[in-house]
Structure 1
């Protein structure tokens, strides 16, 4: 297993961002294969070490968590055939899960990041999370305003309603968080850090810091499941 990211992996992704054509990709397919293998081996080591604090890492494999590099361009004005990054999602239920999880985005040109949270949940889950934040605002604030969390992730982000969500008053003390449709925490990572020998430790520490945030968002979804 690889506990570091090879400089050739990042170089391939940087080059792909500048040469996003099928012809170039086919000519550099061996570079892609090597880069993808390195990323998956890194994920496998990450999953192994995550088990110390995150049970959902058990039984998961890097190859199953990586998103396809091929873009679906059927309904997009952007016709570039490939993503210019590798991405993997670690969550209960796997890569396609709607549950909160951890995301590792690897890209050249200082565009890598570690992220966590809940992305665009369906209506029932969205309503349940808003209710949890409304009921447990102090707990939520304690998580996202903790100094170690803010140092890494700054403020949480995500798509938001321009208006007040149905059922809530605009003077609700939690309204700034209730307007979110996704609750995300993102930590940018420079190429220098990605290629350093301690990148795995950096990712693990960030994900450990994300765990209370993910656990908070997951709790109301578990309650939904218990009601079914």
Structure 2
């Protein structure tokens, strides 16, 4: 039984994911479930609990729960062409209310595709995304100040998945940096994690440092979200 303090993912964490990806079999997974729980699931729960305490101490407004914050290792294949039953990674979210249903979150991903953390407003609902785009248009200096702060902290907004054309209603925006931002479908920063570092407790300090550095993005989005709720 874990005491809740993150000590690191097990030495067999990545080898387990490689074997699971090779077999992609319910029978194999059930035979090796104990290994999954001790090497991956339980340590991820410990990490969520530990980060919740540390994020609270840092005033970041992010929290999680070892039962609710973790994503399932099983894939939802109902509408997918790829019918493999298991993911190649484990992951979890910490958010303002501890659920997965809100925006402005911290995300942790440990997998064969790589290990990374992110702070994001990821594909926000239409009303919030429109408000973010309007804020960029109306208060460009506030947006640029946020981007400058992130850059000073060694972070840059993720440009992946942006629209190729400017959305309707924003054709009058011509500054290249603002156009690029308005075309974004999400606002996120990412931190790559060395796979060797996932096995020790120092990972917590690394993730707290990253999230503190990403705070300008959280604060910018929260200000817009708060105004939207008032309106």
TM-score bucket of the superposed structures, by smaller chain: 0.7 to 0.9
CA distance in 2 between counterparts of 1:5 and 1:144 reads 33
Matching residue of 2:167 = 165
Whole-Å separation in 1 of the counterparts to 2:173 and 2:127: 23
The equivalent of 1:47 in structure 2 is 52
Kept in 2: contact 1:88–1:95 (CA 8 A): no
Q: How many residues align?
A: 223
Distance 1:197 1:44, change over 3 A: closer
Q: Which residue of the partner structure matches residue 28 of structure 1? A: 32
Does residue 86 (structure 1) correspond to residue 90 (structure 2)? The answer is: yes
Q: TM-score, normalised by structure 2?
A: 0.87
Q: Which whole-Å CA distance do the structure 1 matches of 2:217 and 2:18 have between them?
A: 32
Task: Name the structure 2 match of 1:123.
Answer: 126
Displacement of 1:140 in angstroms is 2.3
Residues 166 and 197 (structure 1 numbering): CA distance in 2 closer, same or farther, change over 3 Å? same
SS of the aligned residue for 2:119 comes to strand
Asked if the contact 1:114/1:187 (under 8 Å) is kept, the reply is yes
Q: CA deviation at 1:170?
A: 5.7
Deviations 1:32-74 (A, max 9, x none): 122201110121111111112235335x423221111211101
| CA–CA distance in structure 1, aligned partners of residues 45 and 222 of structure 2 | 26
Structure 2 gaps, min length 5: none
Mapped partners of 1:158, 1:212: distance in 2: 20
Distance apart, 1:87 and its partner CA: 1.1
Structure 1's unaligned 5+ residue stretches are none
Q: Is the 8 A contact 2:60 2:215 kept in 1?
A: no
Residues 74 and 134 (structure 1 numbering): CA distance in 2 closer, same or farther, change over 3 Å?
Answer: same
Quote the offset at 1:158 in angstroms.
Answer: 3.7
CA distance in 2, matches of 1:170, 1:11: 52
1:167-225 deviations in Å (ceiling 9; x for gaps): 11264321110001111211221211222442111111011111211221122111121
The one-character-per-residue Cα deviations of 1:79-130 (angstroms, maximum 9, x if unpaired) are 1101121111111233322311110111246x11010111111111110011
What is the CA-CA distance between 1:141 and the residue it aligns to? 2.6
Task: Report the Cα distance in structure 1 between the residues aligned to 2:159 and 2:22, rounded to whole angstroms.
Answer: 28
